Amino acid sequence: MALKALDIYKLLPKKNCKECGDPTCLTFAMKLAGGKTDVEACPYLDANAKSVLGATTRPPIRLVKIGVGERSFAIGEEFVFYRHDKTFYHPPGILFKIQDTMPADQINAVTARVRNESFTRVGTDLRFNGVAIENVSGSVDTFAEAVATVEKSADLPLVLIAENPDAFCAALVHCGTYRPLLHAAKPGTFKMMCGIAKQHECPLIISARGLDALSELVKNCCAEGVSDLVLDLNSGSLGEFITESTTIRELAITRTAPELGYPIYMDATRLAGLQDAAVALGIVKFGSVIVTAPLEAASAKAALTLRQNIYTDPQKPIQMNPGLYRIGTPGQDAPVLMTVNFSLTFFTLQGYLESARIPCFLLIVDTEGLSVLTSVAAGKLSETLVRDSIKKFEVEKEVSHKKLIIPGYAAPLSGRIEEATGWKVLVGPRDAAEIGDYLHEEWAKQKS
């Protein structure tokens, strides 16, 4: 159960010294209750107060940062079980795995791909996050060499995977200040791994089978002073992963088992033949770090698209800025199409218009990110909005005609738009995929 602000306030030293960055202890207590600050911000809390407050005031899933610099990413700090309850905040990092036995040119090729490959969808550049390097050779030197090869060519977040603690020490010479994620502390090695993680201030994966063993290991690592933890469930199958990751998420969100409130790690390469499915499941079922072999182009796009969809705030449609956009270099006799500022509508239509190779103007009106159908039903798309947008974006200065093509789903408004604007309204297709044929046939008729 989360503590209320007043309960938290009672446990504070009440010096009102502002060292936590808040003007009073009460403000600090209120922020702690809302999960907006950390107990560590107050230097005067004793160990007992910290242990009482720590698990109940921090976000139910701890925020963990991996890497440094522009490509670093944060995971965790999630508050809901279902995305539609609010939103998911931190998309999982997806990292391509390489083995330290691979030749340097192959390592460089994977690294370059992660560094440079980008896929633009609905106006956002989607990328993979980093590289996971596995000590398959068993050699400390070979592992360190592979890590150095990656480090030389890219400034990317890393996951270091090894059994031998000495391998980490050798590898961290090359990347120790860049917060790589270390895999993994196990029941027999946690003390040594915590020492390494503490020395380099790295986040640490803990690996155990079963929730009790994981809880125990979390407590042990926290007692060693390492709390930036990520959980490796070691699931034997996709079914087990779904069951276990779902259980952990539920126990963490409800704070029934706050010691399990850490992001989850998934290594999709362990499920031979099911890698694409494992990546997809990792994304939808609460995975925060997903390690995979480099994905084929189609699987890569599918994974990035799925991640973008799951981690888009369902309460805030992705919006375009309203305005008059050009497709190609339209002249004064080019068609003018009107649609809403829902990003998916814009980018879908833009793609089809570019394929049609008919230069045109695209008038985007502000429906607060709602789609055509929804904005017509909700009254957001109206004749006055279209009239005002034509005026505001000075469409009449751009073309020598007064013909406006509206989306098929806005057909019920066609008469009212004609009256309000004085423009002749042409009703376009309902499906954006048909816009090319429509323009080639209908617009050609209008011009003749």
Q: CA 118, CA 130: separation in Å to the nearest integer?
A: 13
Question: Do residues 286 and 91 lie in contact, with contact meaning Cβ atoms separated by under 8 Å?
Answer: no
**How many other β-carbons are positioned within 10 Å of the β-carbon of residue 228?**
20
- For ligand SF4, which is the closer residue by CB, 39 or 205? 39
Q: What mask of x and - would describe binding to ligand SF4 in positions 269 to 308, judged by CB under 6 A?
A: ----------------------------------------
In terms of DSSP H, where are the helices of 82-230?
104-116, 140-153, 165-175, 190-200, 211-223
Copy the structure tokens of residue 91: 């998309």
Question: Do residues 92 and 99 lie in contact, with contact meaning Cβ atoms separated by under 8 Å?
Answer: no
Any contact of residue 6 with ligand SF4 (CB under 6 A)? Answer: no
Any contact of residue 20 with ligand SF4 (CB under 6 A)? Answer: yes
Any contact of residue 18 with ligand SF4 (CB under 6 A)? Answer: yes
Copy the structure tokens of residue 116: 């440079």
Q: Binding residue for ligand SF4 (CB under 6 A) from 2, 3, 5, 16? A: 16
Element (H, E) at 134: strand 130-134
Q: What mask of x and - would describe binding to ligand SF4 in positions 229 to 258, judged by CB under 6 A?
A: ------------------------------
Question: Do residues 318 and 309 lie in contact, with contact meaning Cβ atoms separated by under 8 Å?
Answer: no
Question: Do residues 184 and 233 lie in contact, with contact meaning Cβ atoms separated by under 8 Å?
Answer: no
Taken in order 399, 405, 410, 411, the sign of the CA dihedral is positive
Element (H, E) at 98: strand 93-99
Any contact of residue 354 with ligand SF4 (CB under 6 A)? Answer: no
Q: Binding residue for ligand SF4 (CB under 6 A) from 12, 53, 64, 268? A: 12
Any contact of residue 96 with ligand SF4 (CB under 6 A)? Answer: no
Q: Single out the segment in contact with ligand SF4 by CB under 6 A; choices: 14-22, 254-262, 308-316, 419-427.
A: 14-22
Q: Binding residue for ligand SF4 (CB under 6 A) from 8, 9, 11, 22? A: 22
**Buried-state track 140-164, b at ≥16 Cβ within 10 A, e below 16:** bebbbbbbbbbbebbebbbbbbbee
> Considering the complex, what minimum distance in angstroms separates the CB of residue 44 from ligand SF4?
5
> Considering the complex, what minimum distance in angstroms separates the CB of residue 37 from ligand SF4?
9
- For ligand SF4, which is the closer residue by CB, 12 or 33? 12
Q: Single out the segment in contact with ligand SF4 by CB under 6 A; choices: 15-23, 105-113, 331-339, 399-407.
A: 15-23
Q: CA 59, CA 227: separation in Å to the nearest integer?
A: 13
Q: CA 76, CA 277: separation in Å to the nearest integer?
A: 22
Binding-residue total with ligand SF4 (CB under 6 A): 13
> Considering the complex, what minimum distance in angstroms separates the CB of residue 40 from ligand SF4?
11
Question: Do residues 69 and 155 lie in contact, with contact meaning Cβ atoms separated by under 8 Å?
Answer: yes
Copy the structure tokens of residue 187: 């029941």
> Considering the complex, what minimum distance in angstroms separates the CB of residue 77 from ligand SF4?
21
> Considering the complex, what minimum distance in angstroms separates the CB of residue 21 from ligand SF4?
8
On the CB side of 400, how many CA atoms lie within 13 Å of its CA?
A: 6
Residues within window 23-82 making contact with ligand SF4, judged by CB under 6 A: 25, 28, 42, 44
Q: Single out the segment in contact with ligand SF4 by CB under 6 A; choices: 17-25, 181-189, 336-344, 422-430.
A: 17-25
Q: Single out the segment in contact with ligand SF4 by CB under 6 A; choices: 11-19, 338-346, 352-360, 420-428.
A: 11-19
The SS3 of residue 207 is: strand
Site residues (vs ligand SF4, CB under 6 A): 12-13, 15-20, 22, 25, 28, 42, 44
